[in-house]
Amino acid sequence: MREFLVEITTDIPEGTDPAEVDRRRAAEAVRAKELAEAGHLVRLWRPVGERRSIGLWRAANEAELREKVLGTLPLHAWMTPVVTAVEPHPNDPGRPAPAA
């Protein structure tokens, strides 16, 4: 699986029924847990004081990530994702040491 950093901004359309927003947010939490258990959602952060998220996601490729992973989120219709494919850096201090 490839790894992707995904920055997501969610804009709820003006006039949306608050009950619908609450329903989708609750369903979003359930779906995020399912995606984490399946190995797609690895980490998720929210920048301090902001209403967007930054996550580390895994999928076979970007198309799968967009369609079969992010596309299944209940808030997807209101989301604007920015996807960046990433790979390990040779100087990453968290990277396992090469076998001798």
46-86 confidence digits (pLDDT tens) = 999 998 999 999 999 999 999 999 999 999 999 999 999 99
CATH fold of 2-12+26-86, please?
Alpha-Beta Plaits (3.30.70)
pTM, entire model? 0.90
CA 48 to each of CA 9, 28, 45, 53: distance values in angstroms, whole numbers, following the listed order: 14, 21, 9, 10
Using 50, 70 and 90 to split pLDDT, how confident is the model at 100? low
Which tokens sit at 10? 């969610």
Per the CB < 8 A criterion, the answer to whether 50 and 9 are in contact is no
Taking phi over 0 as left and psi of -120 to 50 as alpha, with beta for the rest, 53 belongs to beta
Report which of 60, 61, 56 is spatially closest to residue 45, judged by C-alpha positions: 56
